[in-house]
Amino acid sequence: MTKDEVQKLVEMVAGRLAEAQDRTWLPTPVRPEPPGDPMPGALPAWAGGAQGLSDVAPTRRSTGQPRHRPAYPAMVVAARQAAAARGPAPLPSGSAAGAERRASTKTRREVKIGVSNRHIHVSAADFEALFGKGRSPSVQRPISQPGQFASGETVAVAGPKGRIEGVRIVGPARGATQLELSPADCRALGIEAPVRVSGALEGSAGGLTLEGPAGKVALAGGVIVAQRHLHVAPQDGTVLGVKDGDRVALECGPAGRRMTLHDVVVRLGPGHATEVHLDLDEANAAGVKTGDSAAIVGRSAAPVRGRRALLTERGVAQMAARGEKVSAGGPYLVTPAARDRAKALGIWREET
Ligand SMILES: [Zn+2]
């Protein structure tokens, strides 16, 4: 029997069967009865009535999002929170992988704390005036930042109200002398020093005298309270998700003294080892010490170069309170009212 003959036979049998059963030889589909009826009157789950029509056929006039999905902006916010390890993932990941990823993200965004006690960077000329001709800072031990060291020499610092002995010199010698104090030190000495990033000595305080074994140096400026900062080695920038000039918020401290420190300036580049530097006052307030960890919990990007912030009257008042001057060519756009206020307060400077 050939294939064609088999096929013909099958068609004949099918035809006879169809005739015998009035052309309904295939069994009629029967909808299965649902087991029981938990809610009288409710549509059974298989009926299709429980699903909104917009789920399968959104109308043109809708917001563009099917009803069964959360709103898109809410999803973005939730996803970002989850990426920053501050909340659960918006969509169920269904495995432990998500939990592990969140844990490792948290670990990667932690940085070590280094607490800086008061110290001074001295210019070569000032060092000679304090310790004698031809002298330069001796290396006692290297510190965390590459190339820098705690020197064997210390100086005394005298102010209008008090005196602090044994202020450590950090070498090597710098171009300009810079004394970094904590706010408590400033109060003890009887001066007010502005909070500044290291090296930004514009408007820094003076009025102190350095005393060394070979002589004294009167400081006309260069006294600052160091702005808390996060040194970042170039290879760690991507991992921590920060760029030079960013400001981050750090959470640190044990239960009971836990706090978030805002305005931590990121200093990223060669010559930096990843570590956050706090002064003694900040460290004591948060109950942390050198070697403890802090977690990056927020970040604001560095201001875009060329775009100047607006300086208002309120800003001028704040600058006056900090003892700062307002320059016509400063890194801000001064409103006319702010300029008048600065002039009235006597802190306006025409030159840049
Ligand atoms: Zn530092």
Residue 278's CB is within 10 A of a number of other CB atoms, namely 27
The H or E element spanning position 5 is helix 3-20
- Ligand 1 centroid–CA 302 distance in Å is 18
Identify the pLDDT of residue 104. 45
Note whether 59 and 66 are within 8 A (CB).
no
- Ligand 1 centroid–CA 143 distance in Å is 10
Identify the pLDDT of residue 188. 95
Identify the pLDDT of residue 163. 95
Identify the pLDDT of residue 51. 52
Identify the pLDDT of residue 99. 45
pLDDT tens series, the chain, 352 aa: 788 899 899 888 888 877 776 655 566 666 666 665 555 666 555 655 555 555 555 555 555 555 555 567 777 888 888 787 777 666 655 444 444 444 444 445 899 999 999 999 999 999 999 999 998 899 998 888 888 999 999 999 999 999 999 999 998 988 899 999 999 999 999 999 999 988 888 888 989 999 999 999 999 999 999 999 999 999 999 889 899 989 999 999 999 999 999 999 999 988 899 999 999 999 999 999 999 999 999 888 776 666 677 888 988 998 898 888 888 877 788 888 999 999 999 988 886 5
CA within 13 Å, CB half, 347: 19
* Secondary structure (DSSP) of 142-186: E-SSTT-EEEEEEEEEE-SS-EEEEEEEEES-BSS-EEE--HHHH
Note whether 66 and 58 are within 8 A (CB).
yes
- The angle subtended at Cα 262 by Cα 304 and Cα 322, nearest 5°, is 80
- Ligand 1 centroid–CA 229 distance in Å is 6
Buried b / exposed e along 154-172 (16+ C-beta atoms within 10 A)? ebbbbbeeeebeebbbbbe
How far CA 194 is from CA of 86, 98, 176, 321, in Å, comes to: 34, 45, 17, 10
* Secondary structure (DSSP) of 286-299: HT--TT-EEEEEEE
Strands 223-226 and 195-196: parallel
DSSP code of residue 97: H
- Ligand 1 centroid–CA 277 distance in Å is 5
- Ligand 1 centroid–CA 85 distance in Å is 27
How much is the CA Rg of the chain, to the nearest whole Å? 36
- Ligand 1 centroid–CA 65 distance in Å is 49
- Ligand 1 centroid–CA 38 distance in Å is 69
- Ligand 1 centroid–CA 275 distance in Å is 8
- Ligand 1 centroid–CA 225 distance in Å is 12
Residue 139 in 3-state DSSP? strand
Spatial CA neighbour of 215 closest among 273, 302, 128 = 128
Residue with tokens 């592990």, as numbered in its chain:
100
Give the C-alpha separation, 138 to 152, whole Å. Answer: 6
